[in-house]
Each structure stands twice: as structure tokens, then as C-alpha cells.
Structure 1
Amino acid sequence: MLSKDSVDVSTEYGTIRGCKKVSVLGRNYFNFQRIPYMKPPVGKLRFVDPQEPEKWTEPLDCTEHGPAFCNVNFLTEQYEGELDSMHVNVYTVDMDPKKPLPVMVWIHGGGVYTGNARTELTSPDYLMQKDVVLVTFHYRMGVFGFLSLDDPSLNIPGNAQFRDHVFALKWIKRNIGRFGGDANNVTVFGESWGGGSTSYHMISKQSKNLFHRGILMSGTALNGVYSLIPRRDWALRLCHQLGYDGSSDDKSLLEFLENADEKEIILASPKIMTDKEQEEEGLIVPFGPCIEPYDNGNAFITDHIIKMAKNCWGNEIDIMIGATSNELGALDMMANVESEFKKYINFKRYIPFDLGIDVDDPKRSEYAERIMRNYYGLLQPSRSNLEGTMRAGNDFALWHPIHRIVKSRENSGKGGKSFVYRFDFNSENNFFKKLAKAEDTSREAFHGDDVGYIFKMDLLGPTPPVDSVGFAGIRLMLSTLTEFARTGNPNVNEFENVEWLPATFDVPLKGLNINEKQSKFIVLPEATTVHALDKLYHEQKKDLY
């Protein structure tokens, strides 16, 4: 029986049944979740390019969200999810607007291997206060998203996760008009790995014309911890970790992984990296973005990132790009664990991958010392002065990559504007600072703290009162992001007559410092410290922009 709140929509694969909802702020919107956009990646489909889903004849119940993809939840540290989770979620305030609404596509974060698009962390309630269509989706993660095998007959070159993204973006382009969305005004945005993914899509020709603006929050394709994962015997190591003792050829490894228990695969994957790979090279995952060993007709990454970025199609579109004021803020908490403390004060881990310096090269130690001196002078890092270590980690992972991406875009001359920001807002909505129990020890924003101003997050509790600092931050972030999605200009009244200008090539990096007291357009503090890393690229004769 149909509920009075049921809403049916005919999509290309069949009719879906959503429902009407009311946001926590009192606005009505339409909710469609768990819409299949590709076949479940099971059996022989685990690692290959995405396939179209089977069509259905009866209306499909899409009123509640589906499972996450298989992962270890970063909050609970427990395994969760299913392989059968390849779903799109669509939220809209108007199914039949006079003018199609801007579309905002969120790619969830989680460092390549975890995260989800469920409503516990990314409820649409706040964004539904604005006249936009919001789309979120799940995709393959970890080895399922990034297994890369050299044998071209197996057709698994790597980067399947990005192909899932492209598949979802194509579904959106073909279907979003049925939800009141404008297929010709799509903004892709994301935080952390989601921001990095947005950046990868801007450099790959596979994503051209699938979106028109990008918002890169605390993540780029040059990110120091996941930019391009070195090609090593990862698949063989994983199979051995799972008890395999057969042949080392790619076909045999693939057959084993196609039949191994997915939970055991997920739990085994982090164990295959050596201590040196983690502590000195700074690797966080063995399976991630890679230069594909052959072109199967859908090649996504074909060269080193900075070379692809120089003349990529994404340099033609406008972006917002930035990070928080203290990305590595939770280091204070991690420093209480001796192994973590030693890991983070090893400055060899802050040497960018694409300098090509081998982990045993003496020059690595020399460069590590120089980087440390840039932040500490004559002092030594200790638990009592972690500020320098945090700044080094911030610059290595995020601010230097942002600096390079922006300069590369401006140097290309293709016309896309880059609006740079630094999220320095402090209130009760700073979720990750709360998680680190650091509300009383730092006023800066930690990695991920900006997400709580865009999405209603269950773990943050009730929405702040409308007269609170937290709610002012929500209003500000919603306004600037949705205005940018609508027009390409992020300037809004909430910035109190501060003009936010796009970056230019020949001056230190300027951006909007978004602060709870007063936002200012300034030369960013990180614009000076990142030059220590610039020098290393010049000395190694490596492309910086």
C-alpha cells in the first residue's frame, strides 16, 4: 500500500520509491536512498570495471539507506559493510522546480579504505535548507577499489574505485533531471579522501564534462600520504597474509582473492606493509591510486600526477580549495602512545613521494633534517613542543599539495579560478576536535571539523541554537558552498564585506581565513613554511607545478 508520503520516480533501470521528510530545521524535502547504479561487485566482478545493474519491474523501496561498503569503521574500529552496497542517494527540495536546481555530489572521505555515505555522518538536513539537489554514493574501497595486476589479459589495471565514481557521475548526468536537478550545473565536492578524489577526477580525461565545478576540502591528488602508491608485490603479500601458498602469477593470485572472505581481506590488508614503509615512507595504505600498467580503454591515471595536472581539463573549471588551520591537531592525543609519537617525529615521513628518493638513500636523512629545522630551528621535537611536528605534517600532507595544485592551475592559463580558503572556525560543531577531547587545549580547527557545518552528524548531538556561534558557522558554510555551486562565486553576505579573490600565480598564496570572529582575506600562514619543500623539488630537478 502506498503511503501518502511515498514518491515514485521512473529511472533508466526501473521505478524507485522514495519518501517525503522534514529536516531538523523544519524544511520539507524528498528522500531517495539505496538506488543501484552498478552491479554488486561479487565473485568475478570484485575487481573489474563496474557493470550496469539489472533492471527491475516493480517499484524499488528506496526510503532508507543501504549498507556501507566493506571496511573497518574509523570511529568504532569494527568491521562493517557489504560488497552489495553500490548505491546512490538523492535528496532534493523540489521535484519539479521552475528552473532546474544546482546539483552537489558528495564523495565521502575515509583515506581510501574506510568511510561511508550513510546519514549518521552525512545527513542532508542542513543542505536541504538551500535550493540544491544533493547526491551521495558508495564505492569500492581498499583492495577492492585499487587492486592492480600487470597481466593485461585479466583486465584489472587498478583504480577501479575511480571508475565506480565515474559510473555514478554518468548515472547522475542521465537521471538527475527526474529529481529536479540540472545536469549542466554539477559540483563535485568532498573532504579528505573525498577532496582528493575530486582532484583526481579533474585531471583524468575519463571525468571530463561530468561536472562543472569542484570543492576540494582538505585533500588533493598530490596529497602527501596517498598521491600515488608505489607499485610493489602488494597482491602477493596480501595472499600470503591470508594463508595462500600457491603460484605467484597474477592469474593465480586473482583467483584466490576472488574467492577469499571479504572480511578477512579487509582485516589483513593493513598488515602487509613493513614498519619502514609506514614509519619512514609515510605509507598509510598498500592499495591506492596508481599509474596503470596498461590502457584497457578506460585508463584513469596514465602518468605522474603533476604531469597530468599541467594541461588537464579541470584547469578550465572554477574550484574552491583549502584545508583546516590544524589538520594534524589530534597528534597531541596520539603522542601519548609511544609508537605513534616516534612515528610522527621521524621527519623522513614528510619527504614527498614524487621526489623519488629511496627510503635507504642518505639524502633522505639530510632532507629530513632540513625539514625539521624549518619548523624547529635549533630545538628538537618532543612531547612538550609538538607544534612544529603538526605544522610539518600539515604542510606535507595538505598545504604544500594545495600550493602546488593552485600554482599549476594558474600557470596553465586555462582560465579556471581557484578560491583558496583556510577553515579556522571554532565552535561546538568541531566534531574531530571533540573526538580528540581537545576543545580546551586548541582553538584551531582539526582535520574534518568543517564537515559538521555542512552535514547534520548524529554524533554531534542536537543542532546548535540559531543564535549560537556553531549555527552561525553552519549558515556561513552552507551559504558559500551552495552559492559557489549555483554561480561559481563563493562570496556571500556572511563574510561582512570581505572580498574573496581567486589565487594568482606570482604572489604568495592568499585565501580567505574563515574564523568565528572575523573572516579575513590574507596571505596564508602556510604560504611561507611550504617553501622548504619547494627547494627540495628544485634540487632534485622534479616538476613542482
Structure 2
Amino acid sequence: MALLGLVAACASPVANDNLPEVVATDATYQGLSWPEFENGGIFRGIPFAAPPTGSLRWQPPQPLHKDGKPVVATRYAPACIQGDYIVDWYASLIESFGGGPETAARPHGESEDCLYLNIWSPDATPDADLPVMVWIHGGSYKGGWSYEPNYDGRKLAEQGVIVVSIAYRLGALGFLGPNAAQDDVPINFGTMDQIAALQWVQRNISAFGGDPSNVTIFGESAGASSVGTLIIMPAAKGLFERAISQSGGFELLPRPEREDAATGFDKLAAALEAFGASPMTASAEQILSASNAALADYDFGPVVDGGLLPQQPTDRLAAGKLNAADLMIGTNRDEWLMYLDPATIETDLADWTQTHPAAAPLVEEMTAKFGPAATLDQIETAEQMRCPGQALADALSTGSKSVYIYEFNRVRTGALEAGLGSYHGAELPYVFDTHDDWLPTDAVDRRISEFMVRAWAQFARTGDPNFGDGVIWPAYNETGDVLKIDEVREPARPVSENLCAALEATGMTTRKPE
């Protein structure tokens, strides 16, 4: 999920009479000029599928009707319908750093008609063959949008890559549907949208200067979960060459199945009766309200449907049924710290230890050394993210592709005092170099950001994040080591290596972060 509403400190694109124009397979697109790049352009709000409204609600994404008219791609499109879930999170985080919560970013409206993407191209010359990075936003599969200020693609694009950010249907409209219990009835519409966007990239990106054979998918939280899901999904084969997962891994924990989705849809339909509406006649806003009331605890996201997602992810992993891809994967040091309830830390830790007996000795050691809160944070982070993420890294390490793991440990000024530490989403402004005014940022943060922007772009270019700055990021598939990213960067063994080994004998839960 996007945890920071940040504004990039760089020149804005300009609209003038000389709009960059790209003639692609699907249409001709007119964007915004980019002063720093004579041949570049920024294209906002490009439709990649027909609006999923009316009879197309709870249907797979359909091709756009081609009318031959140029697409004016100068404005961001509305976000997929979602309410204030992410905006409220932004406001809370901004307040934690001493800023005004009223400054939290908001999308340019919300709509059921939301299947659009955005492109930052430093050289929109056809067949320039630049690497392509496709960003999938987070938000627990029920919030977030493709152009949150955190996700401004210009700084990455300045490294000579094309950045594409995509939308996908969320919540009940994205991951439920009528007759869900029946085989061959589609459910995973949000994931289908992601695939449709990647197919659009394959058809059209060369006209924007991109190389369709060198596509990297990357995302954070639910976006990272989407990345991992696409790696194990047969329908995504051939749509990307590399993958970057930031604070994911939980996609490999047990997922809902058809029966769960059918029960969820029945609850939604019952709640809609309060509005005198049915699932097909209700407005998107009514569906959102009914979903918030009836499905507050439903685990939105990909459903094991026997088709698009044929098996539970762990079964796919165990059988080696993966789309081969170079992988960069990592977590932040304190992913779960902000989600802990101070009133229940002691009992939560005791309960966790009781249900994970193989890990109990390690947990007792950690508690004596670091205290209950830090220990609970670390074991939850390990169970939900690090350990399943390491399992994905291990699975991809058996082939010919490269695998790199990072551990992001940077704690900004004020973050520890605010009870955040190196929190879930903390790496985002470093990856995109989008550090907002309310976010304490010093010279160390700037240096880390410069490194991460260059390393992410270099990985997209070659499958190896090393670019010759003097610190070697070891290949995990060759050494078993990771790179710790902080004021000082250094290779090391994975921090949760022993804990993950102990958890293997215990099993994992199904909770995931917001």
C-alpha cells in the first residue's frame, strides 16, 4: 500500500501547442512535454480496457472500442472506487511526523470507470528499446491509486527507463462476483485488469520508446503481493522479464477459495437490500458502502479459482510452477511496528509463542534482548513477509535467473519517537525520490534515495542492481546473502534466517498488513 502522500520536488510537465504525440498500435496518444527531455513525454490517463460498468460489471476486462480519434492523455483519470481508506492512512502518517493531516493526497475523483495507466518516457522515439518498469500500487486490494504523489515516475525515468503505473479494480468490484462458487465463473477481476494492462504494454510500449521484451513489474504491499501472484499465474507468462517485490511475500500464505468469495458476495447482496438495490443495479457508491458494512473483515485479493489462479500459492511454489523472472525482493525492518496494539503486546506475544512452539526459544531470546514490542514486530514481519518472500527467492534461485534480496533499515528523524521505526512503506520515497516537505529528509536520506533510484533502474535494465558505486550487492542465488540498506550499506546474512527455519515446522497464518 502507499503509505506516504508525497510530492516530487522536480519540474512539472507543461502543456503547450507542441504536445508529444505517439502513434501506437491501439491509438494515437497526445501527452505532456517534458522540459528535461526533448524527445520525452508524460502521458496521463491512458485507457487500457473498456470501462467495466453496466453489463461489464463483474466481467473480465474487455477491449476498447477503437474510433480512430487521438487520445488526449494530459489528465489523470479517476481512481477506482474506494472511499477514504488510503487518504485517512496518509493523514495519520503525516500527523505522526508533525504535519497537517488536511494535506493528505487525494485522487482526481473516484469511479467504476477506472482502467487507465500513466507513462513517463524520457525518449518517446519509436523503438528506442528502453527498459520498462510497470508499477502496481498497494492498498490492501481495496484502496490506492496509480498516481499517488509517491509514485511520480520522473526520477526513475531520468535513469533511462520508461515507467508505467497502472490501475486495477479494488475490493468487492475487483475480487468478488456473482455465482463465484461455480467453476469457470470469473472472480479475479482486479488481477485480470493487471494482466490486461501488461498486455497493453506488450502491444504499445515500443511506440513510446520501450522494449516489450524487457519489462519489470514492481510494486509495494498489495502491489508486491500482485507481483508474486503474477509470478505463479499461468496467464501472466511472457508478459514480464523481471520483478521487484517491496514488502510482499504474504501472497504465498493461504488465499481465499471460491466458496469464500461466494459467501462474501452473498453478504454483499444482502447488505445492498438496505438500499433497495441488487448487485447489478446498485451504484458503485452503494456497493462500496455495503461492502464496508458487511465485509469489513473479508480478505480481498486474488482467489484460488482453479483457472487464473489454479492452486494455492504454496502448492504452485512447491511444484515449481513459476514464470521465470529475475527477482529483487525485500522488506523494511519494522513492517508491523505501527500495527501493534500497545495494550495487547504482551498477550499477543504470548499467544504467538504458544502457537509457534518451534520458534519459542528464539522468541524468548529476542524478547530478553529487544523487549516485547520490537520482538512482536520482528516475528510478525518475518512470518507475514520475510519468510514467504525468502521462499519465493529460493524457488526462483533454482533456475537461471538472478535473485537479489534487500533489508531496508533506515529510520528517519522522528520516526522512532512516533512509534514507526523503518515502517511499512518507508522505502517508497527513496525508490521514487519523492520526499515531501513534511517528511524529515537530510543528506543521508538523499544519498540513500540516489542509490535506490539507480539500483532499481539498473536492475530493470540488466537484472543486476549493481552499478559500480563501490558497494557490492551480492546475488542471493549465488551467496545466500542480502544487502542491508541504511546510512551504511553492507552485505549480510538474512536477519530472520534462523526464525524462518524454525517457522517452517510450525506453519503460517493468513493475516496481512494494511
Normalising by the smaller structure, the TM-score range is 0.7 to 0.9
**TM-score (structure 2 length as normaliser):** 0.82
Structure 1 distance, partners of 2:319, 2:55, is 36
Shift of 1:269: 2.1
| Matching of residues 508-527 of structure 1 within 5 Å | 510-516=481-487, 518-527=488-497
Structure 2 distance, partners of 1:377, 1:521, is 24
Q: Is residue 410–residue 422 contact of structure 2 (8 Å, CA) maintained in 1?
A: yes
Q: Alignment partner of 2:311: what SS? A: coil
The residue that corresponds to 1:402 in the other structure is 389
Task: State the identity as a percent.
Answer: 23
Aligned partner (choices 448, 459, 470) of residue 473 of structure 1: 448
| CA deviation string 1:86-112 (max 9, x = no partner) | 101111001127841000100111111
Structure 2 distance, partners of 1:229, 1:154, is 11
Aligned partner (choices 226, 229, 233) of residue 200 of structure 1: 229
**TM-score (structure 1 length as normaliser):** 0.78
The residue that corresponds to 1:503 in the other structure is 477
The residue that corresponds to 1:356 in the other structure is none
| Matching of residues 70-469 of structure 1 within 5 Å | 70-77=81-88, 81-96=110-125, 99-150=128-179, 156-220=185-249, 222-224=251-253, 227-228=255-256, 231-232=259-260, 233-243=263-273, 256-272=278-294, 285-292=298-305, 299-312=307-320, 314=322, 316-331=324-339, 334-335=341-342, 341=344, 345=348, 366-367=354-355, 374-376=362-364, 385-410=372-397, 413-427=398-412, 438-440=415-417, 444-457=421-434, 459-460=436-437, 468-469=443-444
Shift of 1:150: 4.4
The residue that corresponds to 2:102 in the other structure is none
Q: Is residue 252–residue 314 contact of structure 2 (8 Å, CA) maintained in 1?
A: no
| CA deviation string 1:327-354 (max 9, x = no partner) | 112136x53xx5xx47992776x6xxxx
Q: List gaps (5 residues or longer) in structure 2.
A: 1-14, 89-105, 510-514
Shift of 1:190: 0.7
Shift of 1:403: 2.1
Shift of 1:425: 2.4
Structure 1 pair 450–417 and aligned structure 2 pair: CA distance change class (3 A): same
The residue that corresponds to 2:17 in the other structure is 4
Which of 1 and 2 has higher RCO (CA within 8 Å, sep 6+)?
A: 2
Shift of 1:325: 1.1
The residue that corresponds to 2:27 in the other structure is 14
Structure 1 distance, partners of 2:439, 2:313, is 42
Shift of 1:141: 0.7
Structure 1 pair 459–69 and aligned structure 2 pair: CA distance change class (3 A): farther
Aligned partner (choices 423, 443, 460) of residue 485 of structure 1: 460
Q: Is residue 221–residue 227 contact of structure 1 (8 Å, CA) maintained in 2?
A: no
Structure 2 distance, partners of 1:402, 1:265, is 34
Q: Alignment partner of 1:6: what SS? A: coil
| CA deviation string 1:40-64 (max 9, x = no partner) | 1112211111101122333222112
Structure 1 pair 528–70 and aligned structure 2 pair: CA distance change class (3 A): same
Shift of 1:377: 5.9
Shift of 1:366: 4.9
Structure 2 distance, partners of 1:98, 1:170, is 18
Q: Is residue 395–residue 529 contact of structure 1 (8 Å, CA) maintained in 2?
A: yes
> Match of 2:259, as an amino acid?
R
> Match of 2:266, as an amino acid?
L
Aligned partner (choices 34, 47, 53) of residue 36 of structure 1: 47
Structure 1 distance, partners of 2:338, 2:390, is 23
Question: Mean alpha-carbon deviation: is it higher for 302-311 or for 106-115?
Answer: 302-311
Shift of 1:474: 1.5
Question: Mean alpha-carbon deviation: is it higher for 256-265 or for 149-158?
Answer: 149-158
Q: Is residue 120–residue 458 contact of structure 1 (8 Å, CA) maintained in 2?
A: no
Structure 1 pair 142–59 and aligned structure 2 pair: CA distance change class (3 A): same
Structure 2 distance, partners of 1:245, 1:61, is 37
Structure 2 distance, partners of 1:66, 1:113, is 18
Structure 2 distance, partners of 1:448, 1:487, is 25
Q: Alignment partner of 2:424: what SS? A: coil
Structure 1 distance, partners of 2:58, 2:248, is 25
Q: Is residue 69–residue 84 contact of structure 1 (8 Å, CA) maintained in 2?
A: yes
> Match of 2:312, as an amino acid?
H
Q: List gaps (5 residues or longer) in structure 1.
A: 247-254, 275-283, 294-298, 351-364, 429-436, 541-545
Structure 2 distance, partners of 1:469, 1:76, is 28
| CA deviation string 1:434-493 (max 9, x = no partner) | xxx63436794211111101225475559967xx11211121001111111111111123
The residue that corresponds to 2:12 in the other structure is none
Structure 1 pair 59–446 and aligned structure 2 pair: CA distance change class (3 A): same
Structure 1 pair 196–378 and aligned structure 2 pair: CA distance change class (3 A): closer
Q: Alignment partner of 2:80: what SS? A: coil
2:505 maps to 1:530? no
> Match of 1:493, as an amino acid?
G
Q: Is residue 44–residue 76 contact of structure 2 (8 Å, CA) maintained in 1?
A: yes
| CA deviation string 1:215-267 (max 9, x = no partner) | 1111136355x744683311111222233699xxxxxxxx9212222123223
